[in-house]
Each structure stands twice: as structure tokens, then as C-alpha cells.
Amino acid sequence: MRIIGYALIAFVLYTVFQYATLPDVKQIEKCFTTTMNKVDFCPRGKNFVSYNSISSHIRNALIISEDGSFYSHKGIDVDELKKSIETNLKKGKFARGGSTLTQQLAKNLFLTKEKTITRKLKELILTKRIEEAYSKNKILETYLNVVEFGDGIYGVKKASEYYFQKHPSEINPLEASFLVFLLPNPKKYAVSFKKKELTRFARSRIQDILYKMSAYKKISGDEYAYYKSQLSTMWNEAPDMENEAEDYATETEPQTLDLNQKIHLEQLQEKQNDSIEKLQLQEPEDTSSVEETSNQLINTDSEDNTQTEVIE
């Protein structure tokens, strides 16, 4: 009994120590090297892009695809977490993630890739601190400036320049959908760019993101139809990349979807369906004015948001 007591005391002291020695989230305001990927992050650096200089198409595609309740939750999406636990228990393995963008940011900035209960607790604490310290727009801005978009490509500025030779403010809906499509596994999914041709898996995912942007009136039905028609030609004029031939054989995805890919695609689409439902629940009765939704959803800047019938 005494041993159990000592063990409990040791655990409590260890937990308090871990809590007390967590990094200060205010580092976001300074220049520092991130823990996970050793990225040189600097709000005053040449590769940092402010929120208003990032295309609203990127912001819209990211939230609709990755975190539909971003502007309403407090850092943790309880519903998504519950579904993830249920799915993982049912399948007996880690098949569905439940992390919000804020949780992903906390992990990318301050934590390692280890999968332990201790690290998860740290992530939750840091997530809470980030949400308390910063606005949603600041969190989104920081996330897009540090997240990985490919091998050695961190931040939306480098990604926009690498894949499309554009500044992030110039990215169109199709390009934004591609960038967001990369996020779950950027090194693997970037093979479509290297081949200058979308795999069937990539085409399905990108078209799905475009459709949901249209369904939620972030682009018009005509825009959806246009960019959908450009899926097969989006890199016709892209220059050949150097020193990537060796990666071809090991990274190329098959053109036909095997069973695992189909299951993965279904899981991703299920997550996106959950996201769009959450976004719709946040939408006020009168959706004719962008100003009325700005407190909960992404501002769509001054772009044309004509609501036309979605073309499937």
C-alpha cells in the first residue's frame, strides 16, 4: 500500500513538473526554431506571410477540409474527438485523427513526434494556452506559416512559390485545394506535382475540397465547374523540377486505387462531411451578407461570393 502511495506521489510530482516546464506559447511572437521539424520560425522573417496576405481560398479550403468548427471550438473539437475514439476502438488501430488546427499547431511548434499519453497531455495544455492567448486569425496565420507542404517545404509562402511560382495572395481555389490536399502526408502526396499529373486519389480529394468550397458558398457554382475542368491541366506549363528523378520510383502512387486507398479516401471524405455539417450549423439564417458571418467563419475579403447552384 505504501509503495502505491509513493508511486502516486511520484506521478503527481512528475505531472506538475511537466506542466511547469512546458514552453511559453508567447514564443509565437518571436523568432525561434520549432521542436518537431526544426523549422526556423520568425514573424519578422522574409518567409512569413500575414493573415491578410494569404489568399482566402487557402484559408477556406483548410478549414472546410481540416477543421470545420475551428471558429467555434476552444481548441478541442469534442465531437470529432469522440468520433475518432469510437472509430479507432472499432477498428482496433489508429484509423482516424481528431486533432484541431490549434492542436496541430501546438504539436508542430513545441512538441516531438512521439505518441505517448504524456505528449498528448502536453499538447492539450499548450492548445488551451494558445487559444487563450491569441485570436483565431492569429492561430490560423501561424499554422499556415509553419506547417509542412512537402519535403523541406515549410510554410505557405515557400509552398506557393514551389508548386505554383506565386505569392500566397495570388493562389486560386484549385491551387488552394491542392495545397490543403497535401497536408495529411505532404511528402507522399507531392508525387502528383513531380509527375505533373494528378493521381486518381489526388483528383478525388481535390475535387471533393472544391465541391465543399462551392457547397458552402466560398466559390460560386460556375467557379467550381471551371476549376473542376482544370484538374487535368493544372501543371501543363510547370517547369521540370531538378534532382527529383531518384524519388520517382519510391514515391509514385498507383493510378488505380487499392483497397487501403479506397478506405483511406472514404475516411477523409467522412471527416470532410462532418466539417461541412459543422460549418452549416454555424451559419446564421440570413447568409446573404458576408459581414454577418465574419465573427464565426472566414472573411472572404472583397471577392465575388455569388451564390449559384452547385454544379456536380
* Per-residue model confidence as pLDDT tens for the chain (312 residues): 667 665 566 556 555 655 667 999 999 999 999 999 999 999 999 999 999 999 999 999 999 999 999 999 999 988 777 776 676 566 665 545 578 999 999 999 999 988 888 888 899 999 999 999 999 999 999 999 999 999 999 999 999 999 999 999 999 999 999 999 999 999 999 999 999 999 999 999 999 999 999 999 999 999 999 999 999 888 765 434 343 333 433 333 434 445 555 555 555 555 555 555 555 444 433 333 333 333 343 333 333 333 222 323
In a domain, 9, yes or no: no
For 68-88, give one letter per residue: b (16+ CB within 10 A) or e: bbbbebebbbeebeebbeebe
Alpha-carbon distances of 238 from 163, 165, 173, 241, rounded to whole Å: 8, 9, 18, 9
Alpha-carbon distances of 159 from 37, 139, 152, 209, rounded to whole Å: 16, 19, 10, 18
**Rounded Cα distance, 143 and 182, in Å:** 14
Which are the contacts of 287, defined by CB distance < 8 A and separation ≥ 6?
Answer: 217, 293, 307
**DSSP letter, residue 150:** E
Domain that holds residue 250: 21-293
In a domain, 5, yes or no: no
In a domain, 8, yes or no: no
In a domain, 259, yes or no: yes
In a domain, 4, yes or no: no
Total count of domains within the chain: 1
**DSSP letter, residue 149:** E
In a domain, 302, yes or no: no
**Rounded Cα distance, 204 and 182, in Å:** 13
Tell me what pLDDT residue 119 has: 86
In a domain, 142, yes or no: yes
In a domain, 12, yes or no: no
Tell me what pLDDT residue 4 has: 67
CATH number at 139 reads 1.10.3810.10
Q: Which amino acid is at 19?
A: Y
Tell me what pLDDT residue 299 has: 39
Tell me what pLDDT residue 52 has: 97
